[in-house]
Amino acid sequence: MDYKNNIRISLKNNNGFQWFCSQNCWCKGYAFIGNELYEKESLINYCIKAIRSDDTDTLLELLNGSFLIVIQWAGVIYLVGDKLRTFPLLYCLKGRFFYVFDLAEDLLCTLGDKNINKNHVSYFMACGYLYEGETLLEDCFLVPPSSFVKFSNQIVTVHSYHKRLFDKRMVEERYKEDALSVIAHLVNRLKQFARGRQIVIPLSGGYDSRLIACMCKYFGLNNISCFTYGLPDSSEVEIAIKVAKTLGYPLCFFKSDKNTWKEVFEKDIVKPYLKYGGNLNSIAHLQDFFAIYELKKKELIDNDSIITPGHTGDLLAGNHFPEKVNKNNIVNLVYDKYFNINILNESSEREVKRFLFDQLQKYADLFTEEGCFEAIYQWNINSRQPNYIINSVRAYEYFGYSWFLPLWDDEFVRFWSGISCVQRKYENLYNIFLFDCLFKPMQVAFSKEKYSHNYICNFMSRHISYREKYLIKKFLKKIHLFSFPSDNSLLNEAAKFIREYGQYNEMLVCPRLEESMSAKSLYYLYYLNK
């Protein structure tokens, strides 16, 4: 699409969710206000009203869902994203031209020159994704979470309409009834969005996907199907099978090992997806890729199915809070947990840590433990979740499926985020609620430890501190107890990148090519430099 002489808008990504156009405006996705569903024309009209209002922030904040809106009004372009930036939208100002793209590859082809931001490369090498709306290119950005971008009179401004800061409260026993009521409202919204279409749950041995399966059963949703993958004798698969059988849901199981992945890569269907899912700021998730590929190829689910993953209850519940944290150790704790896919040299590591500290500081006061918890939480929501975890839905889109994120429903988020971080730590309240109100009544109270065949993992989960657990997991990756299957062709591309682009290699002490995340990060840089 091309409007006026200085604006170039290209919206071609209709995988999973299709663009809808009306009144020189475009939207995709959905939103709720209360229990009223807004899509297509109604969503566009509401956002036009919000943009024209003197109370834009309040009106946009009411929107609960996954959406992306481009508005052209009175010579001004507005790019409006949802609170978690579930759909990527790239923009840049080059000379007098303002570009908007929903596919990174189209942007790269159009712009020609690829000025890579070297300050971001080391962050990307260590972490596998960037922060907020930043990309690997100079002067090129993604619409950040909870924000809208305005282009007017050759000036680009970014405005945040939602801060995700809640008054923290201590809770008593009655919180269970309140949480169940929140889930009832959530399920009602899912039911409205689905309109009878098949709901497909990626079911693991964890608690979040089990929560989605249970709440669908508890509140009477129909047309439910599940899938899982892994090694046949793994605890995750064993629990997933037990849960599906107990709840009466059909389940597709896919064996996933190194041979499986070798076969997939030999068909060369993965590399286009790695480019599609990267968005210039992240490595693409492969975890569900093979299973979705098989479901599609064998027509095991409906073409208009809605995939409902369990992202990301453990964060909301408090699992990502370290055992002991203060202003002096917060950067090292976050860095050690999330920035380890490649080992940087000392100077690059210092630079990344300095920048990370600046990020954490802007989210909360670091002089209290609660403030440190809040900073970690906000950094996760603004950077890790949209750019990496939630970005995994690109795999569903790639094969043409839409998706719904139940655990990022605004009401659900407000409920759990409003509880004191100290009280949420270790997921205690969350897990008690799940077992007492859903898992036990529905006879799926299977403990991950009880059914695990890995006695080392069982011991770690019960007796080892957060920091010690992290260090042991790093070691166990070497013997493939926690590793994801690697791919030889990807490793070859990554090695080629290292040989040819020494200016980036000098940032590394050790490129950890045995790790799939490391290989994917280096491959993506190789792709950008071609």
Q: Residue 370 falls within a domain, yes or no?
A: no
273 with 212, same domain: the answer is: yes
234 with 110, same domain: the answer is: no
- The SS3 of residue 472 is helix
409 with 274, same domain: the answer is: yes
Q: Residue 477 falls within a domain, yes or no?
A: no
- Please give the structure tokens belonging to residue 236: 């995750």
269 with 183, same domain: the answer is: yes
Q: How confident is the model at residue 459, as a pLDDT?
A: 54
Q: Residue 530 falls within a domain, yes or no?
A: no
Q: How confident is the model at residue 327, as a pLDDT?
A: 94
The parent domain of residue 298 ranges over 175-317+393-453
Q: Residue 65 falls within a domain, yes or no?
A: yes
Last residue of a domain, one of 411, 437, 453: 453
Residue pair 446/238 in contact by the 8 Å Cβ criterion:
no
Q: What is this structure's pTM?
A: 0.90
Q: How confident is the model at residue 451, as a pLDDT?
A: 42
One DSSP character per residue, 28-43 reads EEEEEETTEEE-HHHH
Query: What are the mean pLDDT values of the chain's consecutive 10-residue runs (530 residues total)?
Result: 71 96 94 97 96 94 97 91 96 92 94 85 94 94 96 94 75 86 97 97 94 96 94 90 97 86 77 92 90 95 96 85 88 91 88 95 90 91 94 96 97 90 78 93 81 48 53 50 56 80 78 75 87
Residue 54, burial from CB neighbour count under 10 angstroms (0-12, 13-18, 19+): exposed
Residue pair 490/515 in contact by the 8 Å Cβ criterion:
no
Beta-sheet pairing, 25-33 with 36-38? antiparallel
Instruction: Report the alpha-carbon distance of residue 503 to residue 480 in Å, rounded.
Output: 31
Q: The domain spanning residue 298 has which CATH number?
A: 3.40.50.620
Residue where the block lists tokens 């401004």 = 157
114 with 230, same domain: the answer is: no
153 with 184, same domain: the answer is: no
Q: How confident is the model at residue 422, as a pLDDT?
A: 75
156 with 251, same domain: the answer is: no
83 with 115, same domain: the answer is: yes
Q: Residue 351 falls within a domain, yes or no?
A: no
182 with 147, same domain: the answer is: no
Residue 5, burial from CB neighbour count under 10 angstroms (0-12, 13-18, 19+): exposed
Break the chain down into helix, strand, coil percent, rounded to 5. 45, 20, 35
Instruction: Report the alpha-carbon distance of residue 232 to residue 209 in Å, rounded.
Output: 19
Q: Residue 493 falls within a domain, yes or no?
A: no
Q: Domain count of the chain?
A: 2
Q: Residue 300 falls within a domain, yes or no?
A: yes
Residue where the block lists tokens 């990267």 = 278
Beta-sheet pairing, 402-403 with 36-38? unpaired
Instruction: Report the alpha-carbon distance of residue 96 to residue 157 in Å, rounded.
Output: 15
Q: Residue 508 falls within a domain, yes or no?
A: no
Q: Which of 305, 304, 148, 278 is nearest to 224 (CA)?
A: 305
9 C-beta neighbours (distance < 10 Å), count:
18
Q: What is the CA radius of gyration of the chain?
A: 22
- Who's near 470: CB < 8 A, 6+ residues apart? 336, 337
Q: The domain spanning residue 102 has which CATH number?
A: 3.60.20
Q: Which of 264, 234, 237 is nearest to 251 (CA)?
A: 237
- Please give the structure tokens belonging to residue 64: 């609960």
Distance of CA 52 to the CA centre of its chain: 31
148 with 246, same domain: the answer is: no
156 with 227, same domain: the answer is: no
Last residue of a domain, one of 115, 137, 160: 160
Residue-level length of the chain: 530
12 with 98, same domain: the answer is: yes
Last residue of a domain, one of 424, 453, 482: 453
